[in-house]
């Protein structure tokens, strides 16, 4: 069984994901020291107030010195710059990983900077919320959620086992994929849903015939479910779109074709086609619940809100 305890962990980026990892490491006693690093003094101060680590610095280079495990949790577009900043200061034998939502681009940005003797293992926990910043994190975020690793051809097996064991200690289920496949899968299960949500909420916001107050007032009819996704961090999602461009465009092309089919069925009154599709999609929802990836309650505590007069 791989050793899940690290002497010194450096967390580069302490937003929703970084701070959730910090909280879990503390709660589970997985490290002797947690060095917290973030670029802005404001976020660093907040992390210190929340007591997320044992040392605090705005210098990523300083943070990684002597660290056995380095976890980079910044927007994917910033991974190359961070890798460049930390490269010369990494401890030989250290494990460096990330949590970025795209993998091929992060690998292309970070790998060239990684010195020999350092184990760079790209990762992506499929867990999160629409909130950001150190206050948004919480213990148990990764419980029961998948963490996908996209190891490089020369990844050290022992380091990978150790990192997997660490994420399993955080409650994750671990999986491996090649980076391109990861990016395709995530394009459909995560990136497209967010883009569709951003688009529909933007459309509603632009409509002139329905006033904004009506959109808000009657939102419980379905619209509000899209607004949760559309409230996600703009920087993070700008970067995801720019850094998984090919897979997203491929999925968007498929989506547009299928939407045209639906549009045609509505126009020509083809009720059977509509019914067949809606029955198929309802079965997908059932499978997600059976797989333990959601619960069959109306939704996230809104039940009580709906009961209010
Ligand atoms: P977040 O809450 O917005 O926190 C971002 C962190 O990155 C902050 O510490 C921020 O520092 C720092 N940062 C922002 N821009 C930077 C830059 N240009 N250079 C260096 N540092 C920068 O973000 P998050 O939700 O934790 O996401 C972090 C990573 O996790 C992203 O790669 C995202 O794709 C991935 N991810 C997110 C989710 C999710 O649901 N949110 C799920 C899985 C994976 P300052 O505050 O000091 O500026």
What is the domain-level CATH number for residue 134?
Answer: 3.40.50.720
- Pocket of ligand 1 contains residue 30 by CB under 6 Å: no
23 and 88 belong to one structural domain: yes
In the prediction, which pLDDT does 296 show? 84
116 and 228 belong to one structural domain: no
In the prediction, which pLDDT does 298 show? 66
User: To which residue do tokens 């006693």 refer?
Assistant: 29
Q: How far is the CA of 78 from the centre of ligand 1 (A)?
A: 9
145 and 91 belong to one structural domain: yes
Q: How far apart are the C-alpha atoms of 131 and 16, rounded to whole Å?
A: 7
Q: How far apart are the C-alpha atoms of 284 and 188, rounded to whole Å?
A: 14
- Pocket of ligand 1 contains residue 18 by CB under 6 Å: yes
**Atom of ligand 1 at shortest distance to CA of 128?**
40
In the prediction, which pLDDT does 213 show? 84
| 10-residue averages of pLDDT along the chain (309 residues) | 91 98 98 98 98 98 98 98 98 98 98 97 96 97 97 96 98 98 97 97 86 85 92 97 98 97 98 97 93 77 46
In the prediction, which pLDDT does 212 show? 78
Pocket test for ligand 1, best of 15, 127, 230 (most atoms within 8 A of CB): 15
In the prediction, which pLDDT does 219 show? 86
81 and 16 belong to one structural domain: yes
In the prediction, which pLDDT does 217 show? 87
Tell me the two tokens of residue 288. 């997600």
162 and 206 belong to one structural domain: no
In the prediction, which pLDDT does 307 show? 43
Phi, psi of 51 (to 5 degrees): 55, 50
**Residue where a domain stops, chosen among 177, 204, 233:** 177
Pocket test for ligand 1, best of 12, 17, 149, 230 (most atoms within 8 A of CB): 17
pTM of the model: 0.94
14 and 101 belong to one structural domain: yes
CATH of the domain at 253: 1.10.3660.10
In the prediction, which pLDDT does 308 show? 41
Q: How far apart are the C-alpha atoms of 11 and 74, rounded to whole Å?
A: 10
Domain containing 231: what range? 181-268
196 and 163 belong to one structural domain: no
Q: How far apart are the C-alpha atoms of 209 and 230, rounded to whole Å?
A: 22
């Amino acid at each position: 069984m791989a050793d899940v305890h690290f002497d010194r962990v450096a967390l580069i980026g302490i937003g929703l994901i970084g701070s959730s990892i910090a909280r879990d490491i503390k709660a589970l006693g997985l490290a002797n020291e947690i060095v917290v690093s973030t670029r802005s003094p404001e976020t660093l101060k907040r992390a210190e107030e929340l007591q997320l680590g044992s040392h605090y610095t705005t210098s990523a280079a300083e943070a990684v010195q002597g660290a056995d495990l380095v976890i980079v949790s910044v927007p994917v577009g910033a991974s190359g710059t961070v890798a460049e900043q930390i490269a010369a200061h990494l401890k030989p034998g250290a494990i460096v990983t990330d949590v970025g939502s795209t993998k091929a681009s992060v690998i292309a940005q970070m790998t060239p900077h990684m010195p020999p003797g350092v184990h760079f293992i790209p990762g992506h926990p499929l867990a999160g919320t629409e909130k950001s910043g150190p206050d948004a994190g919480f213990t148990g975020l990764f419980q029961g959620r998948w963490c996908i690793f996209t190891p490089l051809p020369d990844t050290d097996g022992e380091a990978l086992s150790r990192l997997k064991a660490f994420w399993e200690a955080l409650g994750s289920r671990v999986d491996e994929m090649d980076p391109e496949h990861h990016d395709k899968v995530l394009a459909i299960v995560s990136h497209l849903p967010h883009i569709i949500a951003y688009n529909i909420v933007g459309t509603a916001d632009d409509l002139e015939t329905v006033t904004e107050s009506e959109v808000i007032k009657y939102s419980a009819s379905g619209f509000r479910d899209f607004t949760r996704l559309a409230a996600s961090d703009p920087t993070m999602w700008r970067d995801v779109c720019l850094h998984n461009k090919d897979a997203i465009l491929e999925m968007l092309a498929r989506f547009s074709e299928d939407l045209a089919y639906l549009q045609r069925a509505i126009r020509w009154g083809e009720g059977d086609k509509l019914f067949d599709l809606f029955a198929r999609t309802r079965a997908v929802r059932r499978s997600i619940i059976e797989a333990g990836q959601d619960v069959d309650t109306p939704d996230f505590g809104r039940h009580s809100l709906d009961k209010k007069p």
